[in-house]
């Protein structure tokens, strides 16, 4: 497998982390986002959305970090990571949507504004980040894992990076004890790897 990757991207880290957790490995191909490589023709031919990560596995190519988790889970992982039960699978996909929308436009955007000094709407982003963190905290107060299962699923892997990295966006994790405990549980999983900011 080959993963088009940016070390500092939480979305790429989702893929790297899950590949490691399921005992697989991938060649990492760095994409220079600072120089705009993701918006130039060679990369756009790989992914018209101009986003990392992109996974190549033989002739198969998968774009979108949530889609990559589904691909890896279906092809290589124990079914517990992505249950075939209709209700649990729906819950997981609900959290994948949450990762793509609420986590992206909240904690992840706050981090992009602060860490990469991109212009963002700070008031709106802070409100969205607060709302997203509170929803995750409430769920994890009631359940050990986001999809209400007895073991972690790809829902946890999709939400974890930008929740754990929230401090880099100026969001204090102290008011979120359930999130902090859940982060510790994820860090204890066999095969866990970190990223810069999450050592």
Residues engaged in binding a copy of itself (CB under 8 A): 48-49, 60, 62-64, 66-68, 70-71, 74-75, 84-87, 89-91, 93-94, 96-102, 104-105, 121, 135, 138-139
171/180 Cα distance (integer angstroms):
13
Cβ-based nearer residue to a copy of itself, 13 or 98: 98
- Give the β-pairing of 60-63 and 54-57: antiparallel
Cβ-based nearer residue to a copy of itself, 105 or 114: 105
Q: Pull the structure tokens for residue 74.
A: 């279906």
Question: In this structure, are residues 8 and 196 in contact, taking their beta carbons and an 8 Å threshold?
Answer: yes
Least distance from C-beta 174 to a copy of itself, angstroms?
A: 21
57/59 Cα distance (integer angstroms):
6
SS3 66: helix
The span from the first CA to the last CA of the chain, in angstroms, equals 25
30/139 Cα distance (integer angstroms):
35
Cβ-based nearer residue to a copy of itself, 59 or 188: 59
Cβ-based nearer residue to a copy of itself, 66 or 149: 66
Least distance from C-beta 135 to a copy of itself, angstroms?
A: 6
Least distance from C-beta 177 to a copy of itself, angstroms?
A: 18
Least distance from C-beta 138 to a copy of itself, angstroms?
A: 6
């Amino acid at each position: 497998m080959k993963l088009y990757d940016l070390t500092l991207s939480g979305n790429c880290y989702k893929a790297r982390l899950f590949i490691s957790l399921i005992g697989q490995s991938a060649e990492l191909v760095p994409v220079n986002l600072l120089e705009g490589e993701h918006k130039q023709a060679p990369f756009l031919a790989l992914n018209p959305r101009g986003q990392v990560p992109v996974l190549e596995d033989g002739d198969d190519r998968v774009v979108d970090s949530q889609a990559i988790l589904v691909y890896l889970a279906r092809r290589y992982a124990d079914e517990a990571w992505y249950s075939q039960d209709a209700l649990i699978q729906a819950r997981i996909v609900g959290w994948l949507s949450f990762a793509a929308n609420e986590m992206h436009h909240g904690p992840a955007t706050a981090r992009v504004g602060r860490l990469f000094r991109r212009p963002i709407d700070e008031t709106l982003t802070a409100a969205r980040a607060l709302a997203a963190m509170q929803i995750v905290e409430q769920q994890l107060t009631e359940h050990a894992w986001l999809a209400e299962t007895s073991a972690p699923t790809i829902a946890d892997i999709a939400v974890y990076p930008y929740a754990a990295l929230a401090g880099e966006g100026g969001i204090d994790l102290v008011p979120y004890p359930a999130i902090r405990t859940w982060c510790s549980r994820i860090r204890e999983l066999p095969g866990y790897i970190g990223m810069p900011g999450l050592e």
